[in-house]
Amino acid sequence: MKLRNRLVAMAVVVSGALAVITTPPATADSDTQPTATVNGKQLDGSTLPGSFVVDFAGPDELTGVHFWLDGDILGEDKEAPYFWPVITGEGKHRFKVFANDHIGEMRQQLEVDFVVTGADPVAEKTYEAITAVPDVIAETVPGTAKLTGDSLSDGVTLTAPGITTLTAPDGGAATTVPSGDPLTLSVAMPAATEPLANQGSAAAEPGDFGTTGLAASTTDLPSTSVAVQSLADGLRLMTVARDANAPAKTSFDLTLPEGATLRTTTDSETDDTTGAGIAVVRNGAVIGEVTAPWAHDATGRKLPTSYTVEGNRVTQVVDYTGAVFPVVADPRLSFGWNVYVTWNRSEVWNYRNKVSYVQGLLSVCAAIPHAAAKVICGGLGYVKMTQLRNVWGYAAGNNRCVQFVIPYWTLNNPLNTAWYTQIKHINC
């Protein structure tokens, strides 16, 4: 079953691209007529809040579905079921869908009108700012039971049922053992002032991440709102600073599983903690991670940002110097399902030439403090060298971090683990 994080990134329209999507609507070869719905109701003629998710259904042979709003492309979904988040202002709007038909021609499938009214200005500005950050919306995974809660002031909770905890007895080889009861981790923002409002879904209960995977709240901080996003392996907290009156610091409190502690990760060569992430450690194993922070202004420029840790309180600090508002800042928290190995921007740059050959990669892997992850990293050189080289090169050229995501359940067989390890570049 396809999850909503399978959405591709926002599409970019280049000169000449419009010529291929001006063909009149196709005649369907099946009895399935194209429909666009929101929460099971027809989009055509409906009145909605300013943010919602459109579901599209059509003939089975359709591929490469493109969503358009008021003459601008929103994006492309390549895999059924097809859907796309919509965030827009009050008034009347026109929504169109184009797709490749059974003979491979891009044709318009439907065109409908709807009206937006009664939008919450703060919530809509929050969603609008978040949508402008590349790749963020595409990672949303609604419908997960891992994330629950309807108030950030009280806290939202991540649950990892059936987690396997890594131990390394007497400094020896790593093994995996069942943990018993599910582990939970809660995140609260003391400054949050209202229940979480689900993104544009009147049918959803407050904080119901099962509908859209994204919910927002106001705060008692000047010009600051916050949103919680449901992810495949955790959550993302996004603070939105609407103008220069917003404070440079926002804090979150973590309630950790019994026996777990927070540990700031560092640059393995310089011990520099600037821009570093935070590991959640239990029984000597990393069971979760607050990944390296990032902050973007309205032009897409990355702003200097870092964490401070005091007990179980994590504070993100953002330098707004020269920023164009709104600014979106992101602590992302993964929990309970994987071991995370992250190289920060300086490490990615320093090692950029070494990952092109196996011996160089082994020297990169040697810097990993996690015994099993170090072995897995070395094995990747033979299995995924091309992918690793491409990801690392892109990250080095675009000021991003590189992360390995290693499932716990594969750790007993490092060579097999290489096939299941994700290699990706991330915002940091």
Please give the pLDDT value at position 271. Answer: 39
User: What does the pLDDT look like over 362-396, one tens digit per residue?
Assistant: 777 776 756 666 777 777 655 677 788 888 888 88
Q: For residue 31, what is the enclosing H or E element? A: none
Q: Which residues contact 413 (CB under 8 A, 6 or more apart)?
A: none
Mean pLDDT score, 244-256: 94
Residue 128 to residue 138: CA distance in whole angstroms: 14
Using the 3D structure, point to which of 336, 361, 383 is the last residue of a domain. 336
User: What does the pLDDT look like over 77-126, one tens digit per residue?
Assistant: 888 888 887 877 778 999 999 998 878 888 999 999 999 876 566 776 78
Claim to verify: residue 312 and residue 411 sit in the same structural domain: no
Closest CA to 268 of 354, 362, 344: 344
* 416 located within any domain: yes
Using the 3D structure, point to which of 314, 336, 358 is the last residue of a domain. 336
Using the 3D structure, point to which of 316, 336, 356 is the last residue of a domain. 336
Residue 19 to residue 406: CA distance in whole angstroms: 44
State pTM to two decimals. 0.59
Claim to verify: residue 349 and residue 326 sit in the same structural domain: no
Claim to verify: residue 332 and residue 346 sit in the same structural domain: no
CA separation (Å) from 151 to 39, 156, 362? 23, 7, 45
User: What does the pLDDT look like over 30-68, one tens digit per residue?
Assistant: 457 899 998 788 999 998 876 678 999 998 888 889 999
Q: Which domain holds residue 47?
A: 4-119
User: Is-cis flag, bond preceding 182, omega within 30?
Assistant: no
**Which structure tokens are listed for 292?**
């390296």
